[in-house]
Structure 1
């Protein structure tokens, strides 16, 4: 089957043309034949081979035979293919990461401009950008140690920035299961919306506990909420079958879940209203604190900018005074030197009026020299820097 033109038959259809062209080139030039291609095995599968052929010539230099070899390089080819695949995946990941970093850098620049520029747009900011989280967490901890009221600071996307005293039914069940956690996020970001600054909103979360939220507002933008909740109201019928159904729906251990629900606080509406009046004021304090931080940052940036401009002006003044003093000293030396020479050699022969003019020239150059020295002293003061 391989005699004559039959040698081309085992080649993969995609490799037939390149193998044929290489063989024709070798026949035409007498050069060594070398080609890589896929050859079909008896079971119909293909493997990569490196095929090489060299001509055997007679004494006259005429090609009488060709000697060739076939080397199995399938494993090498597969390894090369895998490496190329990994390289492509790596390049794609690098491109994606680079794009993410570029976007992150632009986002940071927008936020810095929003904070530092007097004309900055506060709409670019998120609550985490302006809230000192460790300080707020410490404040919540201290409040909880006295009032024993669960608290949380959560941005409008549902990200918890600080929290204390949360109920076990939330920390071990609702915030752990993917679906109930999604319910929490939707409750924190959607159901909590609508309260004006200084007010609060009472609502039942999607996991059927009561929450209360009061907004944290900066420059008219709602950035997040101060929360309390995870409670049931006193006197409200407790629908145990509802929570049993939730346990079954989400795969919670029923007895553990109901035991956690038994620990949930039962509070009166009067206590909620009294607590939230204070917490609404606390949210306003957090808002004012965040805005004060921005104003301080802008003031510091403006101070830095003014100092930089002043330092630049001072350097320009220093360069100017050095230039002026140098340019003035040379002609002053000439005027002083020639007037002194004129006075010494011809003073006695000059008319009295001429001698008077020479003295005035000498006095003028002396005063001018003092002014030049003062300019140099001013430049030296500038080199001390601005603090």
Structure 2
């Protein structure tokens, strides 16, 4: 593994690889090892030697850090000022299991390179929506700076947004600048018990239509409910809705939401630490952090179509699943084969979406397209961007943009 300790070192490594015709596979702490389909003869190129917070002004709610800075260090610094990353980046180590580097730590550069987002995604945006500026080394070994410390309108190609979600295929991130937000004073979760997947979709849609500012909406079918907060959720399926903000406001909004949700089923409440742990476990996909290599899909569809997709697949394949983002994000574990063709056929039939194979054994990954195939026009544009930033294909090829 190549581990540069400065931006200059990183640029030299890329130029050296270019001169020798080598390929580089960019990574941070190695906690997402196994994503994609893999590339032969690509040398690992890690940012973990580029670590440290460069600048942080809590009053401006903006931080600049080197790409290899451990995410835990970022979050600890923010916590001291009661601030947070609004997009709730998940920790993939549990679901990646044996593939994750045992001593690896998620890095802030890896978070943005993979555009990692959690349960608050549908109201706070993805990781890329918090990214203000980047420094990176392109495929020619040139250091490029894009963006800055403020959000502004852009014309043409927005390199900041392109790098976020590119999985290191367009350039090697060395530094990132991003906005942060205050930690909510209070958090409360309403639990509606006993709903079918279809009824839960309707309940969540109703909740999101109300002026109560729901910041998390997930449905946990009976097969996974026991996996959360040590099995202490009420009996039956659990549809969970999160409210955050000032304590008096949360209390009023929770009362209004509960009054409406009681028409769907029994309502109970989780507050404080139980609520925080529940959403962290939803974020980190705890039910499928099972130590296996069973194929695990991350599926994005219209919230109204999620339960239809799962119902159709249950008739033809052995699957288990739960829902986040009001039903628009489905974490789906296959019991045997990945069933990629069947899954993507149903997604198209239900109006479209994206299916990403997050985890699988090596033989399965070798035969299954890990990322959703791009439409021809998008693939052509992606190839042109790749040609501009990495003309020799130094950075191992893969998905250009993860949505």
TM class by shorter chain equals: under 0.3
TM-score of the superposed pair, with normalisation by structure 1: 0.21
Q: Which has the larger radius of gyration?
A: 1
Structure with a larger share of its residues in helix: 1
TM-score of the superposed pair, with normalisation by structure 2: 0.20
Q: Which has the higher contact order (CA 8 A, sep 6+)?
A: 2
